[in-house]
Amino acid sequence: MSKGKILIVDDDLNICELLRLYIEKEDYEVMIANDGLRAIELFTKEHPDLMLLDVMLPRMDGWQVCREIRKTSNKPIIMLSAKGELFDKILGLELGADDYISKPFEAKEVIARIHAVLRRTSTDTAKDDIKEVNYDKLSINLTNYELKVDGKLIDTPPKELELLYYLASHPGKVLTRNELLEKVWEFNYGGECRTVDVHVKRLREKINGVSNQWSLKTVWGKGYKFDVIK
């Protein structure tokens, strides 16, 4: 029985076939697209559980594919790039990717990353392990990856939800951008990075003004905190 569907998007046929062999051994159904437009077409038609997405693609690059997918879906995306540049990784995170792997890579590493990302976004968790925080008119459930604002379910990409959950789990604590990158993205970076700022901006569009009992505040020169008014 298949564990789910994985869409591989890369114009290197050898890489596609290598990844297919390893992923199918893990009992996943595999689909392959060799250009960006075909990737969007297959994603829309087949609704895969996860996409492995190369950056350099014909017809439409991986960045634009990620942008288009994020307009309609929160399914996990792992970016692949031969460049291995820090800029690529940061841009992928800002666009909503869930992980990033630099080429050349070991196929076993890709499998481990797939398992880790799917485990984070899986809804098949025991009740005792439910991760949820609740405030006035706000419910953040990291077990089912659900955000409810004033009783309404709000579509939210996994990283946005993980960021909000982490902030709301530490009410009143000022968390720096680097701390949030390390804890939420598992990414160590000593310089300036807009990834956190971009995700906070998107979260504010969803939750600002909902309640006067809490707020997501910017602490200038420091970072962010989930402020609870007692």
Question: Structural domain boundaries of the chain?
Answer: 5-121, 127-228
pLDDT of residue 114: 92
CATH code of the domain made up of 5-121: 3.40.50.2300
d(CA 132, CA 141): 4
Q: Any idea which fold 127-228 has?
A: Arc Repressor Mutant, subunit A (1.10.10)
Phi then psi dihedrals of residue 189, to 5 deg: -150, 125
Please give the structure tokens belonging to residue 25.
């051994």
pLDDT in tens, 171-225: 999 999 988 988 888 776 555 568 899 999 999 999 999 999 999 999 998 999 9
Beta strands 29-33; 50-54: pairing state:
unpaired
Distance of CA 203 to the CA centre of its chain: 14
The pTM score is 0.63
Residue 90 pLDDT grade (very low, low, confident, very high; cuts 50, 70, 90):
confident
Nearest alpha carbon to residue 91 among 103, 79, 105, 74 = 79
